[in-house]
Every structure is written in structure tokens, then in C-alpha cells.
Amino acid sequence: MDRTSASNIMVTAGLLAIMAAALFPLLHMATQWGRYLYAAGSLILLAGRFVAPKVKDAPLRLRRLIRVEVWTALIFLAGAVFMFIPSAGKTDWLAFTLAGGLLTIYTSVMIPRQKADNKR
């Protein structure tokens, strides 16, 4: 298995785990296990972003967008940390989840657009 395939599998699994764990408190289900699932998903996502092959000859904007993906994984990880801090509010993690989700959507739209523009 090459690095691209491994990265894609890890990123997909991590994002699915984060999504499932974010639904648990909203559905009033297993919030204790949800914290661990969210933390594991964010760690898997971060590992998947680091395993991804580097794009050496890409333009500056594309390299920055790929770097934003790594920061997105770190934002999800910060959300996981807030789930475990007892003095934090019950929904502090939700702000990080929303920020990470918005950045994920943005990069998932802009990276293919940048790659297509560079092929022309």
C-alpha cells in the first residue's frame, strides 16, 4: 500500500470517528465513550495528514491549503482535549469541531480546484 492510499484510509476513518463521536452527545448516547472515540479519531486524522505524500513542485497556494489540512487536524485534537478537561464547559469542544469542520469543507473544495487550475 502506498502512502497516498494509507493517508486516505486514515483520514477517512478519523473523520468518520469524529463525526460519530460528535453525534453521541447530541443524541444523548454514550458520552463517556464518545470522548475516547473523538480523541482517537482526531489522532488518526493527524497521523493521516502527516503520512500524506508531500507535494514538492506545487504552487504556493496549494501547499498552503495542504498545510491548512494539518492545522485542521490539530484543531480537532484541541477539541478532544477540551472534552477531557473537567473545568471546561460542556460545549467548548463543539466550537473546535465546527471550526475544524468548516476548514475541512473549505480545503476539500479548494484543493481539487487548485489542482485542476495547475494542470491547465
Encode pLDDT of 5-59 as tens digits: 999 999 999 999 999 999 988 888 877 888 999 999 999 999 999 999 888 888 9
pLDDT grade for 95, boundaries at 50, 70 and 90:
very high
For 48, the domain range is 3-119
Which candidate, 66, 71, 57, places its Cα nearest to that of 4?
A: 66
* Domain total of the chain: 1
